[in-house]
Amino acid sequence: MQRALRSGAWAVGIAALLVPLGLSAEPGSVLEVGKFSAEAEGNGPPAGWQPLTFKKIERQTVYKLVKDGESVVVRAVSEASSSGLTREIKIDPRDYPIIQWRWKVANVYKNGDVSKKEGDDYPARIYITFEYDAGKVGILEKATYEAARLLYGRYPPIGAINYIWESRAPKGTIVPNPYTDRVRMVVTESGAERLNTWVTEERNLLEDYKAAFGEEPSLISGVAIMTDTDNTKETATAYYGDILFKKAK
């Protein structure tokens, strides 16, 4: 289960994302989900965020709040390792469909490949999960979700969107994760052209979800960042700037 989440795949192990923060979005035109620039430099996770680690993965990606230029950001260093940072937050994507963030990566992977399990690593990814909705699953899946609820005390999310910096797949590509079709991978940046450069991204998450799954989404249940190299056995350094959701203009 934990391997599935670590790989960006879908499984009941995604319940590890659901740390008991109990946070709901405040009303306003902008929701600052990751206000990293307001943090102090140091080893601790940003306010409201929790480490995501995996029992069977001995080597963990190291996340640290550092100053890059005039702003504090999250730096991730991965060496044949995997872990992430997560935040639970409820957001209605119909009210706040736009997600915006900044990121920078030092390298892409020689063996990275969004279509293969052994290539399912990314120097940077933004992971968005969506609440379980019984009306969107069949009888067998309902039983799986009920079992997960009994085990973890809550339902796992019903699906997820991963915005990824991929090695070679064309920007704009949307494909199922090689482990499961409950997760869709959206190639937001690709290749080495923009390495070591801060890139600001803006996506309409509502439209991406509908394009990926062919239906309306449920509520957003959480956001994560992850830099992993455990499948490819390579190394990566990435930086994450502020993450926010916005109302449509």
CATH code for the domain in which residue 226 is found: 2.60.120.260
Specify which residues 183 forms β-bridges with. 160
pLDDT confidence of residue 10: 38
Is pTM, for the whole model, over 0.75?
A: yes
pLDDT confidence of residue 4: 43
pLDDT confidence of residue 211: 96
Q: How far apart are CA 46 and CA 225, in angstroms?
A: 12
**Contacts of range 115-119, beta carbons closer than 8 Å, 24 or more positions apart:** 115/169, 115/175, 115/178, 116/178, 117/7, 117/178, 117/179, 117/231, 118/231, 118/232, 119/167, 119/178, 119/231, 119/232
Domain that holds residue 168: 2-246
HSE-up (13 A, CA, CB side) for residue 212:
25
Binned at pLDDT 50, 70 and 90, residue 133 comes out as: confident
Q: How far apart are CA 223 and CA 17, in angstroms?
A: 8
- Asked if residue 164 has pLDDT above 90, the reply is yes
Tally of domains within the chain: 1
Mean pLDDT, residues 173-192: 94
Instruction: List the structure tokens of 240.
Output: 């994450």
| 148-to-75, 81, 216, 242 alpha-carbon distances in Å | 33, 27, 24, 32
pLDDT confidence of residue 239: 98
What are the pLDDT digits (tens) for 72-100?
A: 999 999 999 999 999 999 999 999 999 99
Mean pLDDT, residues 190-201: 97
